[in-house]
Amino acid sequence: MDAALEENQKFDILIVDDVRDNIRLLSDLLVKQGYNVRKATTGGMALRAIEALAPDLILLDIKMADMNGYEICSSLKANPSTCAIPVIFLSAADELADKVKAFQVGGIDYIPKPFHLDEVLIKVKTQLTIYQLRQQLEECESQLQQALNQLRALGQ
């Protein structure tokens, strides 16, 4: 089972940005590539959407009115059921301190605005491949543990 070959899998991506034009542009780009896209314009809306159905990846703006992206990401990483969701920050905040903080709170990548569509696509694809490989590894570990337990039971 090779994750890199499973490109036709429908990944679910949540875009969180309070600028509707950014959401539209990113959504159009990702839908054309075959991804399922959900959208949220506030932090509260994003957390409710994630609670209802965890996405495979989140594109997250930093500066929003109700909650900033750092707070959202920190909340996700503190929750065992959402801590493995990859978060890519998208932000006009392009200072080194902003980027460092994005990684400190659990982000896996950072794309400055204005973003380039090709860069967004390749980073999304790369992170989804890593996410899928991690899931496959966890599944293999679980199967190996079960087999080991069965062998131990037979040996007793």
How many domains, the chain?
Answer: 1
Quickly state the pLDDT bin for 94 (edges 50, 70, 90). Answer: confident
For residue 75, is it within any domain? Answer: yes
State the Cα–Cα distance between residues 13 and 97, nearest whole angstrom: 26
Q: Is residue 3 in a domain?
A: no
What confidence score (pLDDT) does residue 7 get? 55
**Residue the block writes with tokens 């080991």:** 148
Residue 97 domain-assigned (yes or no) = yes
User: What domain range is 47 assigned to?
Assistant: 10-155
The answer to which of 6-10, 64-68, 85-89 has the lowest mean pLDDT is 6-10
| 112-138: burial string, b at 16+ Cβ within 10 Å, e else | beebeeeebbebbbebbeebbeeeeee
Residue of higher predicted confidence among 1 and 111: 111
Residue 39: give its domain's CATH number: 3.40.50.2300
The answer to whether residue 74 sits within a structural domain is yes
Indicate whether 5 belongs to any domain.
no
User: Considering the domain boundaries, does residue 4 fall inside one?
Assistant: no
Question: Tens of pLDDT along 39-57?
Answer: 999 999 999 999 999 999 9
- Count the alpha carbons within 13 Å of 31 in the hemisphere toward its beta carbon: 10
Which helix or strand (DSSP H or E) is residue 42 part of? none
Q: What is the pTM of this model?
A: 0.87
The answer to whether residue 89 scores a pLDDT higher than 90 is yes
Residue 24 predicted with pLDDT over 90: yes
**pLDDT, tens digit, for every residue of 123-136?**
999 999 999 999 89
Tell me the mean pLDDT in the region 25-41: 97
Would residue 134 count as lying in a domain? yes
